[in-house]
Amino acid sequence: MSSVIESHHDDHHHGPAKGLMRWLLTTNHKDIGTLYLWFSFAMFLIGGAMAMVIRAELFQPGMQIVEPEFYNQMLTLHGLIMVFGAVMPAFVGLANWLVPMMVGAPDMALPRLNNLSFWLLPFAFGILLSSLFMEGGAPNFGWTFYAPLSTTYAPPSVTFFIFSVHIMGASSIMGSINVIVTIMNMRAPGMDLMKMPLFVWSWLITAYLLIAVMPVLAGAVTMMLMDIHFGTSFFNAAGGGDPVLFQHIFWFFGHPEVYIMILPAFGIVSHIIETFSRKQLFGYSSMVWAMLSIAILSFVVWAHHMFTVGMPLAAELFFMWATMLIAVPTGVKVFNWVATMFKGSITYETPMLFAISFVVLFTIGGFSGLMLSIVPADFQYHDTYFVVAHFHYVLVPGSIFSIMAAVYYWIPKWTGNMYDERMGRLHFWLSFVGVNVTFFPQHWIGLAGMPRRYPDYALQFADWNMVSTAGAFLFGASQILFLFIVLKTVMGGKKATPQVWEGARGLEWSVESPAPYHTFSTPPKVN
Amino acid sequence: MFKKFNNLSKSAFAALLMLSLYPSKVLSDWDALNMREGVTQVSRDVFELHMLIFYICVAIGAVVFSVMFYSLFRYTKKRNPNPSTFHESTKLEVAWTIVPFLILIAMAVPASKTLTEIYDDEEGEINIQVVGYQWKWEYKYLEDDINFFSNLSTDQDEIYNLVPKGENYLLEVDEPLIIPVDTRVRFLITANDVIHSWWVPDFAIKQDAIPGFINTAWTRAEETGIYRGNCTELCGKNHGFMPVVVKVVEKDEYNDWVLAKKEEAIKLAELTEKEWSLAELTQRGEGVYQKNCVACHQMNGEGLPPIFPALAGSDIVMFDKGRNVEILMEGVQGAAMQSFANQLSEVDMAAVITYTRQAWGNAENGDGEYVVPSDIVEYKKPKI
């Protein structure tokens, strides 16, 4: 992607600085977008390697490779790194690259803040990963870090974990402010809110969600810090505190967080389906309203993660009904995508393959989500592999497939080179098979009774765990191919036209490929 | 109704499996891939609800995906070079907002009904307090004053692949919970340290065990048998090694068991009176240690510092008998060490302390003092 820098002549601004200082000091949205994307890819590989440790241990019953305490560290770091290190920064990277170009702005509104929000991240994750080498090991209480396991009973490294979460939160909040200010103030003349590309809309909503809930997460970890070091008892029952309070606070952050990781995917997929169907997106305004409804509903469903904590009947009923309601706007989006493809003129380039499988597999994840919302049935599903299968279906072939689709779709714009279509398709099919072989059987072993976060299991789950592990290694290995394809494209390949795709619309396709270092120094006119 | 569902579900799962081309030996075992129907009215209602929602999802999926795949095959660029230009239809959009809403109401009604049935905290004929500990369960029969701990009984050697694994690998305990058939049993569920969750799939009970809270659940098991479940809330290192086993027996058998348990308690009291030799105590203590202490302090007494300190070479274990007893009786505030005062009898308490003061060279390097049951009785006497 670094070949963006090379020469272009129609621009009177200076080009990028040379060498390392370019990346340390850059305030250019394209450079920062690139940094975010590479950072996220590195985290994806690290978090993925941890998933491989988990799956290798679960290949057979019995303890073979790691000890239970290290296994717990792996599952905790895997979750934290994938959520905060891989998926979220990837979307921020895409926002950096695309939002200014899509709204016809020269850059993000707050470029120095932008630099700071990226450069906080390596420190946050450096601290988190360094806890692996500390006495007592890394955090081992799951990415949901329920108190008091994460307070009174936590390893000493929990303090570093808290610090690292604070830094990640600060980075996210700054990034979100930047996105909101850019979208609200820097749109090209004529681009009304209801004319904005859906990816921009999805990020506008996501950014508000982030600003609303990241402080809540910061509050939760601060209360933990007080309990651990300053003698308070927020979550300590022996001191009059309430361990369930922690879960309410965590999930008040955690549920909107789930949508933070899927809304930008909705935006991406809408663009890709429309482009490769060569047909205008069906129901643009209902897409916007659906995203808004999902975002608002996300604030009133948090306790569906806590159906077994012993809430009163009225609360269980309320959270069940509110959760079921989310199926309505989500359904509208899926129907709109299908209607866009209907009577289109479809071709199957790699981004489209990822987008189509996003629609199918995300919908399957949605169905299992609907099943989980049914409280009596959730008493059986809760904290089993059924839940693991559910959220991996919405996160891997959901969020992560959408990110891969976005990379294939926009990389010609970023680098000026076409990726290798044959290899892209191969990467898609390997990933598609890998993801389903990994996660589909987990529905069954969950229903049959295997709890999640178990380093070892009863013998009746052996066959499908073995299949799942095989799938996981296939999926993991395919991502090395992805890395190779991206590097190859950065280094060269067939030159891309400005439009790149026959059916592509939007301002980002009106500039050259690769996009010049500075675009839209004078705003374009939008009709 | 649910029988029919069950058969349908088997064929649906079969079809899915065939498609996925997996080894044929697993194809024979359908029930292993679905939720259990269980042995109570509630668990069957839950199963029925699960299958109902599953089929509704399958039906919706079938409709949506067939339209989608039809479009994908029919409207390729080759077959349809000129795409249509329509991009909205208010009628259609209203329809596909309202229809799913109605389907959801159809799901919510039976779900709410079953949930209300489950949420019934009337007292049971038998009331049992269930307490989660790292990493075992304690069962207290409130009416009969019976109280015992239930530990994983699978051999460490099976877990570490040194010997073949038994049929109930990781789903077996030294002493299961025993309840009578056709009797309303209410569980009062709480925890002593971190949050655990008590799950018995065949009763469709899963309730979090939370320190400082008492959650309730109830069941009326309709068939005798052994029902196995797990802890389902991450509770630390041995989260995967604290199963739940419930044995449902005939009412007569239950009453006999209650009497036997009470006699056992009397015998245990007599043991406390007995004069114990160092060798006897050490031998008994080794057994107690293996059952209660190895998970954290390890077989070799080295522990897993810093959270689980070493006992081998510990100053307290070698030189400070008084503090040694105090730690086992009271636990350590703010650390993982819990109080064993209610978990171990006086004899077992004395034995395990004696064992740790003798093992791993502690006696040779330390003062070699040991603890007898009467020391514990003395400790327990109220101090003025």
Average pLDDT of B272-291? Answer: 87
Instruction: List pLDDT tens digits, range A66-83.
Output: 999 999 999 999 999 999
- Of A278, A317, A359, nearest to B83 by CB-CB distance is A278
Interchain contact B268–A (C-beta under 8 A): no
Q: Annotated catalytic, A255?
A: yes
Residue B277 makes CB contacts below 8 A (sequence gap 6+) with none
- Residue A401: is its pLDDT beyond 60? yes
Closest residue in A to B77 (Cα–Cα): A345
User: Of A398, A434, A427, A432, which is closest to residue A486 (Cα–Cα)?
Assistant: A427
Please say if the pLDDT value at position A156 is more than 50. yes
Torsion of CA A367, A373, A376, A382, to 10 degrees: 90
Assess B167–A contact: CB distance below 8 Å, yes or no.
yes
Sort strands B215-219 and B225-231 into parallel, antiparallel or unpaired: unpaired
d(CA B246, CA B203): 10
Q: Which two tokens stand for residue A65?
A: 């490779």
pLDDT at B18 over 70: no
Report percent pLDDT > 90 for chain A.
95
User: What is the structure's pLDDT at B21?
Assistant: 44
Q: How, if at all, do strands B225-231 and B244-249 pair? A: antiparallel
Segment A119-123 mean pLDDT? 97
- Range of weakest confidence among A212-226, A315-329, B127-141, B331-345: B331-345
d(CA A406, CA A352): 10
Query: How does pLDDT run across A228-242, given as a tens digit for each residue?
Result: 999 999 999 989 999
**Per the structure block, which two tokens stand in for A200?**
């921009």
Say which DSSP state A417 is in.
B
Least confident piece of the model among A105-109, A268-272, B73-77, B274-278: B274-278
A302 is catalytic: no
User: What phi, psi does A262 have (nearest 5°)?
Assistant: -120, -30
Those residues whose C-beta lies under 8 Å from the C-beta of residue A142, and which sit 6 or more positions away, are A72, A75, A76, A79, A149, A453, B234
- Which pLDDT score is estimated for B16? 53
Q: The sheet that has B215-219: what strands, in order across it?
A: B146-150, B136-141, B126-133, B185-191, B215-219
Alpha helices in A108-197 (DSSP H): 111-130, 158-185
Q: What is the pLDDT of residues A331-387, one digit of tens each?
A: 999 999 999 999 999 999 999 999 999 999 999 999 999 999 999 999 999 999 999
User: Is A305 a catalytic site residue?
Assistant: yes
pLDDT for residue A393: 97
CA distance B160 to chain A (A): 5
- Band the pLDDT of A11: cuts 50, 70, 90: very low
Residue A3 predicted with pLDDT over 80:
no
Task: State the Cα–Cα distance between residues A13 and B21, nearest whole angstrom.
Answer: 59
Positions of E strands within A280-419? none
Active-site residue flag, A420? no
Whether A330 is catalytic is yes
Task: Give B201-232 pLDDT, tens digit per residue.
Answer: 999 999 999 999 999 999 999 999 999 999 99
Q: B36 and A449 in contact by Cβ < 8 A?
A: yes
**Any A CB within 8 A of B349 CB:** no
First to last CA, chain A: 32
How many Å apart are CA A294 and CA A286, to the nearest integer? 12
- Joined together, the tokens standing for residue B112 give 């709410």
Say how many C-beta atoms besides its own lie within 10 A of residue B172's C-beta.
Answer: 18
State the Cα–Cα distance between residues A367 and A374, nearest whole angstrom. 11
Query: Which tens digits make up the pLDDT trace of B265-275?
Result: 888 878 877 88
Q: How confident is the model at residue B384 (pLDDT cuts 50, 70, 90)?
A: low
With contact defined as beta carbons under 8 Å apart, do A426 and A387 qualify? no
Say whether the peptide bond before residue A148 is cis (omega within 30 degrees of 0): yes
pLDDT bracket for residue A119 (50, 70, 90): very high
* Predicted pLDDT of residue B193: 92
Distance in Å, alpha carbon of B333 to nearest chain A alpha carbon: 9
**CA separation for the pair A290, A267 (Å, rounded):** 12
Q: In this predicted complex, what is the ipTM?
A: 0.91
> What structural domains does chain A harbor?
2-185+195-510 (1.20.210.10)
Torsion region of A196: left, alpha or beta (phi above 0 gives left; psi -120 to 50 gives alpha): beta
At B378 the three-state DSSP class reads: helix
* pLDDT, tens digit, 9 for 90 and up, residues A188-203: 999 999 999 999 999 9
| Average of per-residue pLDDT values in chain B | 88
pLDDT, mean over chain A: 95
A171 catalytic? Reply is yes
Report the chain A residue with the minimal C-alpha distance to residue B198: A308
Top residue of A76, A273, A289, A341 to mutate, by most chain B CBs within 10 Å, is A341
B146-150 and B196-200: which strand pairing? unpaired
pLDDT > 70 fraction of chain A, expressed in percent and rounded: 97
Flag whether pLDDT at A222 surpasses 80: yes
A284: chain B residues, CB-CB within 8 Å: 87-88
- Bigger pLDDT: B51 vs B277: B51
Distance CA A319, CA A79 (A): 25
C-beta separation of A88 from A36 below 8 A: no
**pLDDT for position A526:** 83
Q: Which residues of B touch A290 (CB under 8 A)?
A: none
Alpha carbons B144 and B265: distance in angstroms, whole number: 12
Domains and CATH numbers, chain B: 35-118 (1.10.287.90), 126-265 (2.60.40.420), 274-380 (1.10.760.10)
| Interatomic CA distance for residues A254 and A249, integer angstroms | 8
CA distance B268 to B264: 6
Cβ density class A345-374: b for 16+ within 10 Å, e for less:
bbbebbbbbbbbbbbbbbbbbbbbbbbbbb
Q: Which residues contact B168 (CB under 8 A, 6 or more apart)?
A: A458, B154, B228
User: What's the CA gap between A298 and B35, in Å, rounded?
Assistant: 29
* pLDDT, average across residues A429-434: 98
CB contact at 8 A, A380 and B37: no
| Range in A14-18, A21-25, A285-289, B287-291 with the lowest mean pLDDT | A14-18
List of chain B residues whose C-beta atoms are within 8 Å of the C-beta of residue A342? 67, 71, 75
Question: Which residues have CB under 8 Å from B29's CB, separation 6+?
Answer: none
Coil, helix or strand at residue A125: helix
Upstream peptide bond of A509 is cis (omega within 30 degrees of 0)? no
Maximum alpha-carbon separation in chain B = 98
Give the count of Cβ contacts less than 8 A between chain A and B.
292
Minimum-distance CB partner of B240 among A380, A454, A464? A454
Candidates A330, A368, A468, A478; catalytic one = A330
Task: Work out the minimum CA distance from A422 to partner chain B, whole angstroms.
Answer: 19
- Cα separation, A286 vs A292, in Å, equals 10
Task: Tell me the residue length of chain B.
Answer: 384
- For chain B, helix (H) and strand (E) counts, in that order, are 12, 10
Looking at residue A1, its pLDDT comes to: 42
CB B262 within 8 A of CB B144: yes
Residue B3 pLDDT: 43
Is A259 an annotated catalytic residue?
A: yes
pLDDT higher than 60, residue A9:
no
Least confident of A11-15, A79-83, A317-321, A482-486: A11-15
The three-class DSSP label of residue B264 is: helix
What 8-state DSSP symbol labels residue B334? T
Q: What is the pLDDT of residue A498?
A: 95
| Nearest CA-CA distance, residue B103 and chain A, Å | 10
Closest CA to A369 of B302, B150, B107, B88: B107
Q: Among A315-329, A403-417, B9-23, name the one with the lowest average pLDDT.
A: B9-23
C-alpha distances in angstroms, A456 versus A25, A60, A139, A153, A291? 48, 8, 20, 22, 40
pLDDT at res. B202:
96
State whether residue A73 is helix, strand or coil: helix
CA-CA distances (angstroms) from residue B108 to A152, A299, A302, A371? 40, 20, 18, 11
Beta bridge partners of A414: none
Q: Is residue B54 less than 8 Å (CB to CB) from chain A? A: yes
List the single residue in A281, A454, A460 with the smallest CB-CB distance to B87: A281
Question: Under a CB-based contact definition with an 8 Å cutoff, are residues A137 and A72 in contact?
Answer: no
Rounded to 10 deg, the angle between the A327-341 and A350-373 helix axes is 150
DSSP state of B211: T
- Scan residues 171-230 of B and list those with Cβ closer than 8 Å to A: 171, 193-195, 197, 199, 201, 204-208, 210-213, 215-216, 229-230
- Which residue of B lies nearest to A275 if distances are taken between CA atoms? B83
Integer Cα distance of B119 and A146 in angstroms: 25
Give B137-177 pLDDT, tens digit per residue.
999 999 998 989 999 999 989 999 999 999 999 999 999 99
In order of B192, B329, B342, the CA distances from B148 in angstroms are: 15, 17, 9
Which of the four pLDDT bands, split at 50, 70 and 90, describes residue B24?
A: very low
**Quick one: CA torsion of A14, A17, A23, A25, rounded to 10 degrees?**
-80
In this structure, the dihedral spanned by the alpha carbons of residues B247, B253, B257 and B259, taken in order and rounded to 10 degrees, is 160
Contact A149 B197 (CB under 8 A): no
Give the pLDDT confidence score for residue B12 in this predicted structure.
Answer: 53
B11, pLDDT greater than 90 = no
Task: Name residues whose C-beta falls within 8 Å of residue A246's C-beta, 6 or more positions apart in sequence.
Answer: A146, A147, A220, A223, A224, A234, A235
Question: DSSP readout, A222-277?
Answer: HHHHHHHHS---SS-GGGT--HHHHHHHHHHHHHHHHHHTTHHHHHHHHHHHHHHH
* Closest-CA residue of chain A to B210: A243
- In the predicted model, is pLDDT for residue B291 greater than 60? yes
**Structure confidence at residue B379 as a pLDDT band (50, 70, 90):** confident
> For the segment A456-492, what is each residue's pLDDT rounded down to a tens digit?
999 999 999 999 999 999 999 999 999 999 999 999 9
Chain A residue closest in CA terms to B68: A338
Which of B46, B207, B305 is opposite residue A380, by nearest beta carbon?
Answer: B46
Which pLDDT score is estimated for B268? 80
- B171 to A458: CB separation less than 8 angstroms, yes or no: yes
Compare CB distances from B306 to A135, A456, A459 and report the shortest one's residue.
A135
